[in-house]
Amino acid sequence: MPEEASTALRVALAYHAAWTTKDLDLAFGYVADDIVCDAPAGRLEGRDAFRAFLAPFAQLLHSATLIAAFGDEDKALMMYDTSSALVASGPGAEFLTVAHGRITYSRFIFDRVPFAAARQAIP
């Protein structure tokens, strides 16, 4: 990423790099206590709820590849692919708002279909 990346994009990329390498303590240092995340299954409120949502997937993650990332002073938008024990290619997109160096809002999109199919296939 370019050095002139915006404030919000720098935070978003640091958060992304941390959680996709399983350093959740570092990742959640970039997350506001009162974050709101609109995820496919519904709204998550607060850092603990958001971490409880993300941590099990981070455990199963093999790798993540950034497809694109853009931002301005207070917003960032990222798309990436993930490879995990559940799904070989499970892309996601996140729109993040950032204030005072912390992520305050996340709109998180991914297709739940292959993940649900993988979980059903577990005996």
Candidate segments 13-21, 22-30, 43-51, 85-93, binder of a second copy by CB under 8 A: 85-93
Candidate segments 15-23, 24-32, 48-56, 86-94, binder of a second copy by CB under 8 A: 86-94
Exactly one of 67, 85, 88, 99 binds a second copy (CB under 8 A); that residue is 67
- Counts of helices then strands in the chain (DSSP H, E): 4, 6
Number of residues in contact with a second copy, rule: CB under 8 A?
22
Indicate whether 118 belongs to the interface with a second copy (CB under 8 A): no
Indicate whether 1 belongs to the interface with a second copy (CB under 8 A): no
Positive/negative CA dihedral, 98, 103, 104, 109: positive
